[in-house]
Amino acid sequence: MNIDIPVNLPKTAIIGASGFLGSAFLSSYRQIYPDTTGTARDHSGENVLYLDLLDPDITQMRLSETGHKEALILSAISKIDKCETEKELSREINVQGTLELARQLVNEGIKPVFFSSDYVFDGITGNYTDDSQTNPITEYGRQKAEVESKFEHITKGNYLVVRLSKVFSLKKGDGSLLDEIAGTLASGGIVRAAFDQIFCPTLISDVIGAVACLQAKGTTGIVNVCSPEAWSRYDIAVALAEKMGIGPGRINRISLDEVGFKSKRPKNTSMVPKRLLSEAGTTFTSLTECIEQTAISWSVT
Ligand SMILES: NC(=O)c1ccc[n+]([C@@H]2O[C@H](COP(=O)([O-])OP(=O)(O)OC[C@H]3O[C@@H](n4cnc5c(N)ncnc54)[C@H](OP(=O)(O)O)[C@@H]3O)[C@@H](O)[C@H]2O)c1
């Protein structure tokens, strides 16, 4: 992944370095600081230390001693259904453990950067701005909204909350948004896609560039970090099928209500990245371009 990371990025530890976003942030930030520390529960990587949010302890990370100024909190139970079925455990990790970690970071003089989600909104109106009222309807969203609301007090205002929409990559076979649809279509399958699920899909390299830029500028508070393009899952699937030369016949147009999740999901979680565009001037890769690239990589066998 070739991303322009500002050279004045504060040295930043990556909590949750084994995840989809954490592993990409770690390798990108190591372009600037090769000894960037990460954490994982399986701590086998170089300079990747053990940390479990069930009982977080950052002492052994020696963050301030090694020049770290900030930490990205990317560790969480990120599966929405799992938060619903394992409310107590997920709350211990996603709320209690995360807030305890933030307290320890603040005590060591490290600015915490927490990764939240468009699921803090109820999905009724869409077009949520950075300061729109939250009203989560899932347990996952409630946990994110609770952490967001407590961060200001815990950190005395020296924090950043990054609110993401669906993040995807262009790596073939990683199962992220476009790859999953393309893989199903390429193997002759039918894609069920909701016309009323609307969000702002964002390329992972754009997320990393935007967050690094916000950190370099010293931005605080809550920022929506997503592409300004809102798409329905159905329109994404149709556009991808067309680019793959398949046509829309294999896309089954459904409502989100028909999917059969463990709990009701918010429908239109589209966000307006107002602060990001005005304060960081971030530019985003268009989804149409990403769809074209995905179609090309799946047409090459
Ligand atoms: N990806 C998206 O589209 C998206 C959208 C909105 C918000 N977010 C948020 O962004 C963050 C990162 O997302 P992601 O997609 O990278 O998630 P992910 O791939 O599921 O990674 C989650 C990370 O959390 C760690 N983790 C899980 N339980 C833990 C525990 N008890 N203690 C310590 N670490 C634990 C995992 O480590 P192990 O390897 O040890 O399990 C992994 O490193 C999450 O907070 C997620 O809710 C992501």
**Phi, psi of 282, deg, nearest 5:** -65, 140
Quick check: CB of 75 below 6 Å from ligand 1? yes
- State the pLDDT at residue 301: 52
Quick check: CB of 77 below 6 Å from ligand 1? yes
- State the pLDDT at residue 263: 84
Quick check: CB of 195 below 6 Å from ligand 1? no
Quick check: CB of 78 below 6 Å from ligand 1? yes
- State the pLDDT at residue 300: 59
Pocket-testing residue among 15, 21, 25, 39, ligand 1, by greatest number of atoms within 8 A of Cβ: 21
Q: How far is CA 185 from CA 99, 100, 119, 170, 256, in A?
A: 42, 44, 28, 16, 20
- State the pLDDT at residue 230: 98
- CA-CA distance, 255 to 276, in Å (whole number)? 31
**Phi, psi of 205, deg, nearest 5:** -65, -35
- State the pLDDT at residue 242: 96
Q: Which domains does the chain have, with CATH numbers?
A: 12-120+127-165+202-226+265-284 (3.40.50.720)
The Cβ of residue 196 has, within 10 Å, a number of other Cβ atoms equal to 15
Give the number of the atom of ligand 1 that is nearest the alpha carbon of residue 93.
Answer: 31
- State the pLDDT at residue 81: 94
Q: State which residues of the chain have pLDDT below 50.
A: none
Give the number of the atom of ligand 1 that is nearest the alpha carbon of residue 119.
Answer: 6
Instruction: Judge if pTM exceeds 0.85.
Output: yes
Instruction: Reduce the DSSP state of residue 208 to 3 states and report it.
Output: helix
H helix runs in the chain, sequence order: 20-29, 80-85, 87-91, 98-107, 139-155, 177-186, 204-217, 233-243, 274-275, 287-299
CA of 301 to the centre of ligand 1 (A): 31
What does the block give as tokens for 100? Answer: 């305890």
- CA-CA distance, 59 to 51, in Å (whole number)? 10
Quick check: CB of 115 below 6 Å from ligand 1? yes
CA of 253 to the centre of ligand 1 (A): 30
